[in-house]
Amino acid sequence: MFELLRRNTIVAGVLAIIRIYLGYAWITGGWGKITGGEFDATGFLHGAIGKATGEHPAVQGWWAAFLETVALPNAGLF
């Protein structure tokens, strides 16, 4: 399987087209969030901070503290 991916020019061309398309989609999506002014990370930050507690926290305590003290007050920047 790895030899097919490494040496076959047709597979390499198809993968290149997929990579270019994904890169274009991510760049245009990100650019729309940066310039459109519609993106708000406040809800995501509150959710991440809320997942830092409990028996099996999904977010480390130090990261939640950073989010709460630095990222949340500056949500427009993040």
Block residue for tokens 């993040």:
78
Where in the chain are the domains? 1-36, 41-74
Specify whether the CB–CB gap between 59 and 51 falls below 8 A: yes
Q: What is the pLDDT of residues 18-72, one digit of tens each?
A: 999 999 999 998 888 778 777 788 888 999 999 998 888 899 989 999 999 999 9
Give a three-class secondary structure readout of 26-39.
Answer: HHHHHHHHHHHCCC
What's the pTM?
Answer: 0.54
